Amino acid sequence: MYIGSSTHLLPFPQSPLPMSTQPSVAHTNSPFLTSTLSESLRLLNSLSPHLAESITLLDVLKFAVNAAHAEEFILLTQPAERSVQLVPIVLPPAVSVMLSKCCGLPVEAIPHLWRAFGSQIWQQTTSLLQDDFAVYRDHGPEVGISEYTISRQLEIYT
């Protein structure tokens, strides 16, 4: 399968095994299950040293937020018998292209970022923005940050 314009087609990374025989990345022995930023960055560096050297924290944050919002689209392409708790091994091509455009990153970078950060993103149970709003609402007023200021910021980012 190829993605890109008709003048510049790039091979889209395919999973080497059929979905039913792929190892679960939710399994603790998986090389793609990460729980800390340091582990994720080490994995990213092993997958793509050039990307690891050029990626910014803002790039990773954009990727995490946008990938979390794409969860339902990612699930649509998974086999029905596959548990929704298992982190998908690969992203659907349309989601990869969308993440590339949303984050301003080359589409070739998306599978590497998913391998490095996907398990952490998939384990998110609530929206990052909702969590931020609740924390600011609970702790902001005691230091003079009003709920009005917080809701204005939330409107800007949603």
The CA-atom distances, in angstroms, between 138 and each of 115, 144, 149 are 34, 12, 13
Residue 130 has pLDDT above 70, yes or no: no
More confident site: 48 or 139: 48
- Per the DSSP assignment, residues forming a β-bridge with 10 are 3
How is the chain split into domains, by residue range? 33-124, 126-158
Burial label for 99, CB within 10 Å (0-12, 13-18, 19+), is buried
pTM for the model stands at: 0.64
Residue 32 has pLDDT above 90, yes or no: no
62 vs 57: CA distance, rounded Å: 9
Q: Band of the pLDDT at 124, cuts 50, 70, 90? A: confident
153 vs 89: CA distance, rounded Å: 34
More confident site: 73 or 37: 73
Residue 148 has pLDDT above 70, yes or no: no
Average pLDDT along the chain: 75
Q: Band of the pLDDT at 106, cuts 50, 70, 90? A: very high
Q: For position 63, what pLDDT does the model report?
A: 94
Of the chain, the percentage scoring pLDDT greater than 70 comes to 65
Q: Which residues contact 59 (CB under 8 A, 6 or more apart)?
A: 103, 104, 105
Q: Which two tokens stand for residue 131?
A: 């969590």
Q: What is the mean pLDDT of residues 96-122?
A: 94
Of the chain, the percentage scoring pLDDT greater than 90 comes to 28
Half-sphere exposure of 147 (CA within 13 A, CB side): 3
Residue 21 has pLDDT above 70, yes or no: no
